[in-house]
Amino acid sequence: MKKSPLLILFVTVFLDLLGFGMVLPLLPYYAVHFGADALAVGGLLTVYSVMQFIFSPIWGRLSDRVGRRPLLLMSLLGSSAGLVVFGLADSLFLLFVSRAFAGITAATISIAQAYIADSTTPENRAKGMGIIGAAFGLGFVFGPAFGGLLAQFGHGVPAFVAAGLALANFAFAAWRLPESLPPERRGEVVARGFSLARLGRAATIPGMPVLMVTYFLTIFAFATMEATFPLLTLDRFKFTEVQNGYVFAYIGVVIVILQGGLVGRLAKRFGEKPLVVAGAVCLAVGLAGLPLAPSLPVMLLVLVPLACGNGLANPSLTALISLTAETGAQGETLGVGQSLASLGRILGPLWGGYAYKALGPTTAYGLAAGIMAVLAVVALAIRPVAKTVAEAEPEAG
C-alpha cells in the first residue's frame, strides 16, 4: 500500500470530521434552546441522514463514472455551505434546513471508502478502512472539545469555524489529493437516484444481504445512543456542552487507538468476520451498562466496550462489503451501504428519542443492547471472503 495518497486522504477525512464533530454534540442543546423536545432532537439528527440515504448512491455511482476526487471536493464545499447556514440559524426550522443541505452533500465517507478500495489489496482492506475510523475517532477527540469551548461565545461560532475549516480542507484536497480511479477502470453507467432496484442488485450478490443487514442494525443501535446520550448525561449528571465534549473526546481516543493501529493487525490474524461478532458483543455490553452507571467513573468504564465495539465492527463490515462487491461497482455498492447506514441514523435517533421519552433510558438502551446481542449471532452467518493474490487489485499509484 502506498502511504502518500492514503495519508492525504486521512488528513482530508479527519479535517472533515473535525468540523462535523464540533457541531454534532451541540445539536441537542441548540434544538432545546429553540423549543425542541427529545423527539424533535431525534428528528433534527434524522433529517441529515434522510438526505444522505437518498443521495449517497448517486454520489457513489457518479464517482465510479467520473472518479473519486471531484466528488470529494464537491462534498467539502457542500459541508462548508451547510455549516454557514447552521451558524446563521435563528430558529429550529433553519437548523433543519442546514442539516438537510449538509446531508445532501455528505459524500465524504462513502467516496473515501471507495478511494481506499481502489488503493488497497484485499489483505489490507480492513486496515485501509480503519483509516476512516481513526479519522472519525480523532474528529471526535478534538471536535467536540473545540466545539464546546467555542460555544461559550455563541451558538453560531463553532459552525462558522467549522465552515472555514471545511473550506481550507477543500483547498488542501484540491492541491494534494490525487485521483485513485484511473479512466480505464471507470464504469459507464450514468448515475441515478436511490432505488429499490439498485438495492436489489446489491442484494443478489452472494453474502451481501447479511452484511448489509448487519451494517444497518449496527448503525441503528449506535445511533440511538448518539441521539440520547447528551440527554442522559444532562439528566443524570447535569453535564454541560463542554463536559459532553470531553466525554466524546474520550470515546474518540479509544476508537483511534483501536482503528488506527489494531484493526488491520487483528483482521490479518483472525479475519474480519470474528471482529464483527466481537464488536457486536462489545456494543451490547456497553449499551446495556450505560444507563445503569451510577457515577462518572463507572460511565467512563462502560464507554470502553461501547467504543471498542464500534471500532471493531464498522471498518470490518465496510471492508467485507468492499471485498464482496462486484468489480467496477465499488462506489455504488459502498454508496448503497452508506444509504443503509443513513437509514439506521434516520430510524435510530427517531426510535431513541421516542423510547427515551416514553419508556425511559434504561429500557431504550436495553432494547438497543438486545439488538446487538441478536446481531452477534446473526453475524456468524457472514460468508468469509477469499483473499487470493489473483483477486488483489493494484494499489493506487
pLDDT at 198: 57
- pLDDT tens per residue, the chain (397 residues)? 444 577 788 888 888 888 877 887 777 777 777 777 767 776 777 788 788 778 877 887 788 888 888 888 988 888 898 899 888 888 888 888 888 888 888 777 778 888 887 877 777 777 777 777 777 778 767 887 788 788 888 778 888 999 998 899 899 888 888 888 777 776 644 444 444 555 666 666 777 888 888 999 999 998 888 778 888 888 888 887 667 767 877 877 787 777 766 777 888 888 888 999 999 999 999 999 999 998 888 988 999 999 889 888 888 888 888 888 766 666 667 777 777 887 887 788 778 888 888 888 889 899 999 999 999 998 888 876 655 433 444 443 3
Residue type, 223: A
Residues in Cβ contact with 164 at an 8 Å cutoff, skipping those fewer than 6 apart:
80
pTM, full prediction:
0.70
Domain 3-178+198-391 homologous superfamily, CATH: MFS general substrate transporter like domains (1.20.1250.20)
CA distance linking residue 2 with residue 86, whole number of Å: 38
**N- to C-terminal Cα distance for the chain?**
9
CA distance linking residue 337 with residue 111, whole number of Å: 12
List Cα–Cα distances, 125 to 219, 254, 277, 396, in angstroms: 20, 21, 18, 13
pLDDT at 87: 86
Break the chain into its structural domains and give their ranges: 3-178+198-391
